[in-house]
């Protein structure tokens, strides 16, 4: 690995490309999550767990296209499946064999999923889940937890990053807009709940339960400090949804990478519907919604249906399907166990570095999913994640020093492992974090 050479200017070739890019792309990029000051690094190539930028600097990639590449970059088995499919066509109007095989595999692994429909992104999957729930219940509103991210569909771009001045009481959080451009009717159609407080959730259900079509939850809210559900919390939520006739929708777009059966296998609860994305596409664009046959039947055009229309020119395209199938087939229970061990090793090593340096920063996570949190407190919900947080500028400096030391994580501290990694890469990361932390101002 070539750590970045010391330069006066950060990643100069990326800087030049950024200047050019901003003439054509707002912010010089097609997505917000990788933008940071002074500019993103621009990638040129990647293989395994290493990515090389346009300056020729190679880094260990602990971000893996925002957690979607569980086998890292250009995995030979996935590549072979894609190349073989390229020869047979990239997209057909017709369904194909790999689509059936991938559906069968996911249904066999996820206990709550009886039928599945593929799409093109996690956002699209959440959107279709909400529509199915509305059609099934005849209700409009949705419930979600404060601080939880579920993509960029209007109804879920709410209360993701509420500020203390607007977030309202802890046991009945206000619903706030998280983006411009949301229809003004959206806020009234979303009820925001506090995570991990079952008594408060129960009280809010008593008030709003009969108006909710669905309740949306990420069993491991990787984007809001990774609070682990308290024992029994998701089972309690399941019971409340059943009692009030609310469709329970799990967002496993990210958490599906922590166990063969996803976050629901690890943390419990029984969703009616589950949204997937990221790793199930083997590195190509993907999404899927799966769940109880009775609800999924709303999508079935045979027998006079469907009541919920879903299309998507590239939904279930064979290129994504063969890549996803190859990726999931390689994710054996043994491979999950190995990733679990590596995950424990990196969290233990990195946290030793933070503790020794007296930094109030910690790495949390589950299995191959990690997050560098701006707090040493145990995060139980969004507010405990935000309270006592180390300044954003210190976290930004840490992100920049990590890049200089050859490590890629997101600017928000999101990180994950990939199967090409072993103990050597984990230990190299811990050593790099040690060097990066030493550069922070005392
Ligand atoms: C928990 C969660 N849900 C949904 C999404 C949206 O997925 P996509 O970016 O594929 O639209 C994301 C994306 O990061 C996510 O983290």
Position 103 confidence tier, pLDDT thresholds 50, 70, 90? very high
Residue closest via CA to ligand 1's atom 3 equals 150
Order of all β-strands in the sheet with 407-408: 43-47, 50-53, 58-61, 407-408
Q: Is 67 in the pocket of ligand 1 (CB under 6 A)?
A: no
Which part of the chain is CATH 3.90.1150.10?
12-70+333-438
- Percentage of residues in the chain with pLDDT exceeding 70? 98
Q: What does the block give as tokens for 402?
A: 């990590």
Which part of the chain is CATH 3.40.640.10?
76-330
> What distance in Å separates the CA atoms of residue 206 and residue 189, rounded to the nearest whole number?
17
Residue closest via CA to ligand 1's atom 15 equals 150
Calculate the average pLDDT of the chain: 96
Position 305 confidence tier, pLDDT thresholds 50, 70, 90? confident
Q: What does the block give as tokens for 175?
A: 């619903």
* CATH number for the domain running over 12-70+333-438: 3.90.1150.10
Q: What is the model's pLDDT at position 222?
A: 72
Q: Is 64 in the pocket of ligand 1 (CB under 6 A)?
A: no
190, 193, 217 from 168: Cα distances, Å = 15, 11, 20
| Residues classed as catalytic | 149, 251, 278
- 141-153 core/surface letters (b: 16 or more CB in 10 A; e: else): bbbbbbbbbbbbb
Q: What is the model's pLDDT at position 304?
A: 80
Q: What is the pLDDT of residues 65-79, one digit of tens each?
A: 999 999 999 999 999
Tell me, in angstroms, the distance from the centre of ligand 1 to residue 122's CA.
Answer: 5
Position 224 confidence tier, pLDDT thresholds 50, 70, 90? confident
Position 2 confidence tier, pLDDT thresholds 50, 70, 90? low
* CATH number for the domain running over 76-330: 3.40.640.10
Q: Is 218 in the pocket of ligand 1 (CB under 6 A)?
A: yes
Residue 6 has pLDDT above 60, yes or no: no
Position 8 confidence tier, pLDDT thresholds 50, 70, 90? low
Q: What is the model's pLDDT at position 9?
A: 77
CB 289 within 8 A of CB 314: no
Residue 287 has pLDDT above 70, yes or no: yes
Residue 5 has pLDDT above 70, yes or no: no
Residue closest via CA to ligand 1's atom 16 equals 254
- Percentage of residues in the chain with pLDDT exceeding 90? 93
């Amino acid at each position: 690995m070539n750590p970045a050479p010391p330069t006066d200017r950060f990643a100069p070739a990326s800087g030049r490309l950024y200047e050019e890019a901003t003439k054509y792309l707002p912010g010089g990029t097609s997505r917000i999550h990788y933008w940071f000051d002074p500019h993103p690094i621009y990638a040129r190539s990647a293989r395994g767990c290493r990515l090389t930028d346009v300056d020729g600097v190679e880094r260990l990639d602990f971000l893996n296209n925002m957690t979607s590449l569980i086998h890292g970059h250009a995995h030979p088995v996935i590549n072979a499946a894609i190349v073989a499919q390229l020869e047979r066509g990239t997209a057909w109007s017709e369904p194909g064999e790999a689509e059936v095989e991938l559906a069968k595999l996911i249904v066999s692994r996820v206990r709550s999923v009886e039928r599945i429909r593929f799409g093109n992104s996690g956002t699209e999957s959440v959107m279709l889940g909400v529509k199915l729930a509305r059609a099934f219940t005849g209700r409009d509103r949705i419930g979600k937890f404060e601080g939880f991210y579920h993509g960029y569909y209007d109804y879920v771009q709410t209360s993701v990053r509420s500020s203390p001045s607007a977030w309202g009481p802890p046991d009945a959080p206000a619903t706030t807009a998280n983006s411009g451009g949301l229809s003004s009717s959206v806020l009234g159609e979303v009820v925001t709940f506090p995570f991990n407080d079952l008594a408060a959730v129960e009280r809010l259900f008593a008030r709003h339960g009969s108006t909710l079509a669905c309740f949306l939850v990420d069993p491991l809210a990787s984007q809001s400090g990774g609070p682990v559900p308290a024992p029994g919390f998701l089972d309690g939520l399941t019971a409340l949804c059943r009692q009030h006739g609310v469709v329970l929708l799990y967002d496993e777009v990210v958490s599906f990478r922590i166990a063969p059966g996803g976050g629901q296998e690890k943390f419990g609860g029984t969703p009616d519907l589950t949204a997937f994305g990221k790793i199930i596409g083997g590195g190509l664009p993907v999404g899927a919604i799966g769940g109880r046959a009775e609800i999924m039947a709303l999508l079935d055009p045979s027998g006079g249906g469907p009541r919920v229309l879903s299309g998507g020119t590239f939904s279930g395209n064979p290129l994504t399907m063969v890549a996803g199938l190859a990726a999931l087939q390689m994710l054996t229970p043994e491979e999950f166990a190995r990733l679990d061990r590596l995950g424990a090793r990196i969290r233990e090593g990195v946290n030793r570095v933070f503790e020794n340096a007296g930094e109030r920063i910690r790495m949390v996570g589950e299995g191959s999913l990690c997050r560098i949190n701006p707090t040493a407190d145990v995060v139980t919900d969004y507010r405990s994640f935000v309270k006592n947080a180390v300044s954003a500028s210190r976290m930004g400096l840490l992100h920049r020093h990590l890049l200089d030391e050859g490590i890629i994580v997101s600017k928000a501290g999101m990180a994950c492992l990939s199967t090409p990694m072993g103990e050597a890469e984990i230990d190299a990361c811990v050593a790099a974090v040690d060097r990066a932390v030493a550069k922070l101002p005392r």
